[in-house]
Chains A and B, each alone.
Chain A
Amino acid sequence: MTTPTTDPSPEPAAERRSWLRDHSELGVCVLLLALGVLVLADALTMDVDLTQRGPVGPRTVPVVVGAGLLVVAALLAVDVLRGGRGQAETGEDVDLSEPADWRTVLLLAGVFLGAAVLIDPFGFPVAGALLFWGAAFALGSRRFDRDPLIAAVVSLVTYAVFDNLLGVPLPGGPLMGVL
């Protein structure tokens, strides 16, 4: 114990990582800051000479909002550094005792984007069924007999109800052309 720390590098690195994890909310501050800069930049580069009517032009409110974002980013950073924490939302099916499952979130986002791309070429019933099945799969359902069937029924019934009964047109795509 006479030599306190001979090699100090690994510990502070780990410490820094856990400090960052504890203060990950600072990322929100960074995002708010970036958003504020974006809004301000957009407002200040606006060409208002011709369109200005009345004492308040289209620029004023964005400038106020942008400045507000910068102030809030700073205040939130102070709050976080002082130990303030935003409380994560709870709910019936939410279990906060385990770390976030990022794989599921990314899978869901991917499935959602994929379905969005498929709507135009294949029509809503197909894209919707794939969205439902894909999302159920991402959420851990592995019933390969039941899942696709439920997805197809949900999607077809929704399409039929919206298109025929409720008068909300959705694209049928080639499949509905055949049927």
Chain B
Amino acid sequence: MNALTSLLDGFGTALTPLNLLWAAVGVLLGTAIGVLPGIGPAMAVALLLPVTYGLDPTGAFIMFAGIYYGAMFGGSTTSILLNTPGESAAVVAAMEGNPMAKSGRGAQALAAAAIGHFAGGMVGTVLLVALAPTVAELAVDIGAPDYFALMVLAFIAVTSVLGSSRIRGLASLLIGLTIGLVGLDRMTGQQRLTFGSLQLADGIDVVIVAVGLFAIGEALWVAAHLRRRPPEPIPVGRPWLGRADVRRTWKSWARGPFIGFPFGAIPAGGAEIPTFLSYVTEKRLSKHKDEWGKGAIEGVAGPESAASASAAGTLVSMLTLGLPTTAVAAVMLAAFQQYGIQPGPLLFEREPDLVWGLIASLFVGMVLLLALNLPLAPVWAKLLRVPRPYLYAGILFFAAVGAYAVGGEVIDLVILLLIGLVGFGMRRYGLPVLPAVIGVILGPAAEQQLRRALQISDGSVTGLVDTPFSVTVYAVVVLLLAWPLVRRALPRGRSGS
């Protein structure tokens, strides 16, 4: 009940004309940027960070919510019409969506995706409303050792669950932790890795790291391998669905969120696993098995709904525990830190207007998204034809704007370029970018919690594992670490018996 009244207050915040305007601008910008080939949701959010610098936190996050959902929807438009998704969560959308577009059913594919996003986002956000306050209440009592355990879990999860090589994920995480070390030690004021430079004593701003790795790194990487002839998008009309299509897809829309949300909420998240699971589930349940691979509409509807719900699930751990599990959540956490707001269990007590305004605007954003995107789809499709030199020049340009607007320092642009070159190298050698960003954002906080925990226990390491909560979390960490060994042992065990 309490959550409901808070949510109503949140709608009061979100539905003021000005905030409604920010939500609409966010949705439009997010979709436009997300549709552009080569720009995934994380880069879209990172590039659009500076747009919100001048706003008050509530307005800024309402706009962010719109950008987030808009960019996700834009990404699936790209994969359906171009078939070469740059973003992993959109891969599944291309598997059935692109064949549909090729056989002239692009409009239906886009509609199935848009409504799937709407349905998944709605269910996911309702679950967020139901769960988040409870999680926050439970988490209020957890102390430094528990937080440290959670952050260790986040580190291990992003390095070992996502990506193909753990050792490369770990290398990326350590690079991020190193960048996070630069600056004055928060507890003692000791200079670390500053080499006597005053600029570095302030530390390297998380926004610059995120923009450098996501935007500059990507732009340079694409520039080095730019296709001579960009892929030709498939022309598409206004999205619509016939009655037969709706009859086929409504169950997929309804199932998607329950696959997507749990995966988003646990810190092993990302939309990769749930979208794929949803795809497999829909394929198994489908009555039209012959169409799979040639453009089965359920294969678009289910995964898109799951992806959208997992985005809502991500917000649970981000808002209540301060743990980002996806690249977008990481950038959003960086944005919170820009405003001096620390997401965590106390956020719901300290900033109720902001949190509930944000959650309410998720609902508003989704309605706007559906209302804008169905009629505007042919316009978005035109964006796919943007000349690539302008596209990547624009990415560099807006990355520079964002980094410069952080502090008005030219040195920040130089640091941005250097981090961009690191991002380039990471893409070349298959080091995932997400662990590095998580390392930069959570590293300093994790160190603080570690030292606080050890201060309480007077230096004894047992102080890190003296609560049931932390022991449980470490057990999960051990499971994650041991999983490949277990998996390797399993088939052998079966064949032996």
Instruction: Show the binding face of A for B, using Cβ within 8 Å.
Output: 25, 28, 31-32, 35, 38-39, 42-43, 46, 48, 51-58, 60-62, 65, 68-69, 72-73, 75-76, 79, 84-96, 98, 100-102, 104-105, 108-109, 112-113, 115-117, 119-120, 124, 128, 131-133, 135-141, 150-151, 154-155, 158, 162, 166-171
Contact = CB atoms under 8 A, between A and B. Distances in A.
A135 B424 CA distance: 16
A86 B168 contact: yes
13 contacts: A38-B193, A46-B192, A48-B190, A61-B181, A61-B450, A72-B174, A85-B430, A90-B86, A91-B84, A92-B38, A132-B396, A139-B389, A168-B405
Nearest to A161: B51
Given A39-B181, A65-B178, A139-B389, A128 B401 contact: yes
B322 interface: no
A100 B220 CA distance: 11
Contact of B404 (A42, A137, A141, A170): A170
B38 A91 contact: yes
Contacts of A136: 389-390, 393
A44 B425 CA distance: 29
B430 A87 contact: yes
Nearest to B439: A65
Interface of B: 37-38, 50-55, 78, 82, 84-86, 164-165, 167-168, 170-171, 174-175, 177-178, 181, 185, 187-190, 192-193, 216, 218-228, 230-231, 387-390, 392-394, 396-398, 400-401, 404-405, 408, 410, 413-414, 417, 421, 424-425, 427-431, 447, 450-451, 454-455, 458-459
A1 B337 CA distance: 72
Contacts of A92: 37-38, 78, 82, 84-86, 230-231
Contacts of B85: 92
A36 B455 CA distance: 27
Given A32-B174, A93-B388, A96-B225, A112 B396 contact: yes
B245 to A, nearest CB: 27
Contacts of A42: 192-193
A128 B405 contact: no
B455 A135 contact: no
Contacts of A86: 165, 168, 428-431
B399 to A, nearest CB: 9
A143 to B, nearest CB: 9
Nearest to A57: B188
A135 B420 CA distance: 15
Given A32-B171, A55-B458, A91-B222, 15 more contacts: A35-B175, A54-B455, A55-B455, A58-B188, A72-B170, A86-B428, A88-B430, A89-B427, A92-B78, A92-B84, A93-B388, A104-B224, A109-B421, A132-B396, A139-B226
B75 to A, nearest CB: 10
A119 B190 CA distance: 33
A154 B190 contact: no
A65 B192 CA distance: 13
A65 B220 contact: no
B401 A72 contact: no
Contacts of B188: 48, 51-53, 57-58
B230 A65 contact: no
B454 A54 contact: yes
B227 A95 contact: yes
Closest 7 CB pairs of A and B: A86-B430, A167-B54, A55-B459, A91-B86, A141-B389, A135-B393, A139-B389
Contacts of A133: 393
- Please indicate which of the listed interface residues B54, B168, B390 has the most CB atoms of chain A within 10 Å of its own CB: B390
